[in-house]
Amino acid sequence: MASKLTRRFRLPTAVIRQASPLSQHKRVDLLGRVLTDHDLPLRPRVAAAIVLLYAQPLSRVVRLTIDAVIHDDNQVLPRLGEPPSPVPAPVADLLLSWIPNRDNMNTATNRDSRWLFPGRRAGQPMHPDALSALVNDLGIPTIASRVSAIREHVLEMPVPVVADALGYHQVTTAKLAAQSGGAWSR
């Protein structure tokens, strides 16, 4: 534009939509289906369980390593924030059955991958869009599920606790708590 090679142009404004959260009943039903329907593929079931329970975006889920899943005696603790969050027994069983059976581990360059969701490229995690498509194919809306989970957490626990445990910023969780109608400032 400065050298008069192009006309003046204007970028369209970005439309940012906020996903409406699922009801708590629907979220729990979807989690139950993920845990009990053994005919569904294991990889999207594990990813969906993490989203439904811990409100993690898939961009963060694919960056998890198997080292971030701590297995102490009778407990499984994924390190999503500090301190690591405990996992209910059915989800722990699902997670522990996924780790030794991860996909994309057979190539010579990917055999020692530490990613919880290894990608097709050696040394790279799975792309979040690819994992999102797999989870959505199960009938689980990832964004609405994540919004529902985080809102439920900020209504049940103090905002700083949720922020630290799930790896969110405290300002973000405080805004979500205010939008959800809960205030832990007292």
83 pLDDT more than 90: no
Q: What is the pLDDT of residues 97-135, one digit of tens each?
A: 999 888 766 665 677 788 999 888 778 899 999 999 999
150 pLDDT more than 90: no
How far apart, in Å, are the Cα atoms of 59 and each of 10, 12, 121, 151, 182?
30, 26, 17, 19, 27
* Euclidean distance between CA atoms 137 and 66, whole angstroms: 25
* Euclidean distance between CA atoms 52 and 102, whole angstroms: 20
Q: What is the pLDDT of residues 38-75, one digit of tens each?
A: 999 999 999 999 999 999 999 999 999 999 999 887 88
* Euclidean distance between CA atoms 66 and 172, whole angstroms: 27
- pTM of the complete model: 0.81
Q: Which of 115-119, 139-143, 156-160, 182-186 has the lowest mean pLDDT?
A: 182-186
**Are 135 and 51 in contact, with CB atoms under 8 Å apart?**
yes
Write down the H helix ranges in the chain. 24-36, 42-54, 58-61, 89-98, 128-137, 142-156, 159-166, 170-180
Write down the H helix ranges in 62-125. 89-98
Encoding tokens for residue 128?
A: 């979040």
Three-class SS state of 13: coil
Q: 């991860």: which residue's tokens?
A: 102
Query: Quick one: DSSP state of residue 62?
Result: T
